[in-house]
Structure 1
Amino acid sequence: MEISPAHELMARALDYRALRQDLISANIANVDTPYYRSRDISFEESLAEERARIDGRESKRLKLAVTDRDHFDAPAAGRGDRAEIFFRDGHMARNDGNTVDLDVETTEMAKNMTMYNALVAAMKKQGSIFRSVIDASAKV
């Protein structure tokens, strides 16, 4: 049961935040692994596309011109409902080729956990609002 369109978007954001937490944890766990490259996830664009889909707005993607009706349809240019995992290569590699910076990882983990907790709190608040409306309507 979907409570609201925002609930669906928050649930998707929670999934991405949980995945990001796992990636950051893996980076920290591999801080001493030679040649390990730190990874991260980019999901903001996917969430923006999901929001546009939920709101019924048209995507901002450029549509290809059709010059012949017999041409194949263009493949989906976007990632769809998938976020992109990438290597975070902005940091200097150590002598062993490892790019994990413990300060960066712990900072990113704290920021991600704060956003995750804020999403959980928002979902709880939304649920309590709907429960109170249902309880009040049952008393009538």
Structure 2
Amino acid sequence: MKLFSGSFHTIERSLNYSALKHEITAQNIANADTPNYKGKKVSFEKVFNDTISAAKIRITDPRHIKGSRQINPAITLSDRRVQYSHNGNNVDIDKEMSNLASNQIYYSILTERLSGKFNSLQNVIKGGK
């Protein structure tokens, strides 16, 4: 019998993704004035699609994906042709701050969901009391 459902693992992986995204965004913000710094971003969708196509999985419905493949987000450099300042830097501080705020909301939702899962588990252990 599995003690924890797959949702714990999914939430854990999502929290790891959010933490990595926060770290990369914070690096971009910290280097917004660094000459010739090229911003980075975390790309999950590209890695996911590459993994699915490499495995030759035919998906009839996105909710039907089975298996326990390890899919990790990739850190990629943003478009090098775009520059937002005269010193060769391509970090858009407004976009990065927006990304940081949306990632914080995503992280908060995940932690609330995880807390709810543990509260449910605690309720079961206590026998509903």
Q: TM-score, normalised by structure 2?
A: 0.76
Which secondary structure does the structure 2 equivalent of 1:136 belong to? coil
Identical-residue share of aligned pairs (%): 29
Partner residue, 2:38: 37
- Which residue among 95, 105, 118 is the counterpart of 1:114? 105
For residues 125 and 98 of structure 2, the distance between their equivalents in structure 1, rounded to whole angstroms, comes to 41
For residues 49 and 120 of structure 2, the distance between their equivalents in structure 1, rounded to whole angstroms, comes to 25
Contact 1:40–1:86 (CA under 8 A) maintained in structure 2: yes
CA gap of 1:48–1:7, structure 2 versus 1, over 3 A, is farther
What runs of 5+ residues in structure 2 fail to find an aligned partner? 58-68
What runs of 5+ residues in structure 1 fail to find an aligned partner? 50-58, 64-78
- Which residue among 46, 50, 74 is the counterpart of 1:84? 74
Report matched runs for 1:18-97 at 5 Å.
Answer: 18-44=19-45, 61-62=55-56, 80-89=70-79, 92-93=82-83, 94-97=85-88
Q: How much has 1:62 moved relative to structure 2?
A: 2.0
Q: TM-score, normalised by structure 1?
A: 0.70
- Which residue among 85, 98, 109 is the counterpart of 2:89? 98
Larger radius of gyration: 1
Q: How much has 1:2 moved relative to structure 2?
A: 5.5
Q: How much has 1:3 moved relative to structure 2?
A: 1.8
**Structure 1 residue ranges, 4+ long, deviating more than 4 angstroms after superposition:** 44-49
